Chains A and B, each alone.
Chain A
């Protein structure tokens, strides 16, 4: 990266965990060297126009399915990180439900190798159990030694309370966090959408809210008992966020994320049986959408995470009950947050950048370079956001190999203008540079 040119980001408003100020930003050799108003740009420097824009630490997605290895027809590390960069993300955490799953040092090293030179940093979440089968613990210490800080069987929850308790006890010795996909199989099995008014009308088997909530409640009890840190993935119900709110008030070491589709879409979207609206946890009724929005506003939820889940078109041309769950998210997350959430920019960026960076151990406090304040000496992982620009989502124009966005044709407000990764301008004027 030493070949990257000097950059000057001019005319924007810098916003980070320390506050908001009008300033230009100068970047040399991958690091921020100067943050001040009215910086001169030397002739050799690349100037990025940030007039009317926010200049922020790069966004960090702690819940991305890159599909490689195993499902390269749906996404690769290369295509997924391109989508990430276009969405303003300078780092993503790759979920381990690949084929083979990321449950061994070898498989983790493989993803790191694939991600060398990618347009965004790729951190790996390791599996909690071997093969994500929920039966015995994966070699967590070996993975932690490779820098893995989050462990999850995402796609499934760890069904056995006893095994989850043991995993949490073990994790406390490693300083890692266990991320749970909360879905009790005995309640959710066979379900294809939220169980309620719409599933009843449409004649589709449902997943009740309790399928999520009983596991949230269980894992709060286990975190309290063991002191192990639990991160709740994609919380989707009012009951779940209430449980987390109370647990945090009690000082239990839990954090939580909300996915953009859960603060944007409702279960009624499934009325036409289009599997592009099928996702786990399922889209919920309006009251739940309001509750997760409130959780993002009041600090109960720490992060917005995309759960970017590409599926090849033929997979989504199946009947609703047979299609796999999941939807694209990387290129629409920031815009949906701006469009759907009535939150000040400081709060939105906390949810999209430095707070998720901290949960994933990618921030400076954990030796990382993500989510850092925009200040001299920080690594230049930055995004420049035009908060008033509007654009219309065109599935064929997305960088992902898949097309399963539920927002096709929607006009959104807020757009990523530039993304800088380790000093390299990987996105300029909403165009990928390589």
Chain B
């Protein structure tokens, strides 16, 4: 994600338009990746990301192999490197990797030589397709198309919550900033990264109420109890009191502000249930757009021929 520039992000969003259209058809399937084989390697549990990637690949007629660490040779003590080399030897065109350790997709990319590597989330590091689908969802609200992309310039984006442990936040910040948005982080100091040096953020605040009036897009992050973030705040109740988007706080947002959540949501902790149901909350759209964005990413990595041909 770090090396994604504005042009590349805009290109992914443009290609996503074509595949979103495919998804709306009665038979949402195109032959763009026929004969290609992709493997999903999920070393960490995930439902929505895995299903989203596999749906994306199947809609493009790719053969999809599904590998989960729990039921594989990894359990028998096989090393990551051996697992990857075995999977490459089977003959994959792409591997889509989710791993609890930061940096695994980068390492794997160095071990394979004729196989694309897609990061489906690594540790606290990056989750690029999640950020891209967030941007795509916002772009829809901004009118879509290249004009929608242009409207990111100066857009005020507020990311709230456990940024320290969030791969989603790291990818979002890079992607929004690449398109010219102004990113503000809101979190207790313990849930911010130890250093923000070199991060393209406009501001940092510990007071959510004060930034809401100047927020065009608010993205809420889950308090990641399984990554130990519980110990970074005294109690969930205290966290919610300060940082949850409650019905009262939602009223402080400008009327056309957009509410996003990468999921899975914990209602009542970072977002009130009634807020998640507001028309301005685009959480279900995010999930739907995820498939189209991932189709675009796979097409850009593996596809041959023109986009028009691919989506025909």
Chain A interface residues (CB < 8 Å from chain B): 190, 195-197, 199-206, 208, 272-274, 314, 317-322
Contact = CB atoms under 8 A, between A and B. Distances in A.
B102 A272 contact: no
Interface in B81-119: 81, 99, 101-104, 106-107, 110
Nearest to A195: B194
A197 B197 contact: yes
B170 interface: yes
Nearest to A196: B195
Contacts of A273: 102-104, 106-107
B2 to A, nearest CB: 8
Given A203-B124, A314-B79, A320-B101, 11 more contacts: A200-B193, A201-B2, A203-B123, A204-B123, A205-B124, A273-B104, A318-B79, A319-B99, A319-B101, A320-B107, A321-B123
Contacts of B126: 203
Nearest to B99: A319
Closest 3 A/B residue pairs (Cβ)? A273-B103, A203-B125, A319-B101
Nearest to B227: A205
7 contacts: A200-B199, A272-B103, A273-B102, A319-B104, A319-B107, A320-B103, A321-B123
B73 to A, nearest CB: 15
Interface of B: 2, 79-81, 99, 101-104, 106-107, 110, 122-126, 167, 170, 193-199, 228
A204 B102 contact: yes
Give chain A's interface secondary structure class. Answer: loop
Contact of A322 (B101, B106, B228): B101
- Provide the main secondary structure of the chain B interface: loop
Contacts of A195: 194
A317 B81 contact: yes
Contacts of A206: 194
B80 A204 contact: no
A368 B193 CA distance: 51
B102 A321 contact: yes
A313 to B, nearest CB: 9
B101 A321 contact: yes
Contacts of B107: 272-274, 319-320
A196 B196 CA distance: 9
A62 to B, nearest CB: 33
A214 to B, nearest CB: 17
Nearest to B105: A273
B194 A200 contact: yes
Contacts, number: 70
A208 B194 contact: yes
Given A273-B103, A319-B101, A321-B123, A199 B194 contact: yes
Contacts of B81: 317
B256 to A, nearest CB: 33
For A195, A197, A272, A274, the residue with the greatest tally of chain B CB atoms inside 10 Å of its CB is A197
Nearest to A200: B193
A202 B102 contact: yes
A222 B111 CA distance: 49
Contact of A203 (B80, B122, B197): B122
Most chain A beta carbons < 10 A, residue from B79, B110, B167, B195 = B195
Nearest to A205: B124
Contacts of B167: 203
A204 B101 CA distance: 8
Contact of B198 (A201, A203, A274): A201
Nearest to B228: A190
A305 B197 CA distance: 33
A96 to B, nearest CB: 28
Contact of B124 (A204, A317, A319): A204
Contacts of A200: 193-197, 199
B217 to A, nearest CB: 23
Nearest to A323: B101
Contact of B80 (A197, A199, A201, A318): A318
B290 to A, nearest CB: 21
A197 B195 contact: yes
A272 B106 contact: yes
A272 B2 CA distance: 13
A142 to B, nearest CB: 39
A200 B164 CA distance: 8
Nearest to A190: B228
B195 to A, nearest CB: 4
Contacts of A204: 102-103, 123-125
A202 B125 contact: yes
- Of listed A203, A314, A321, residue having the most chain B CB within 10 A: A203
Contacts of A201: 2, 170, 198-199
Contacts of B199: 200-201
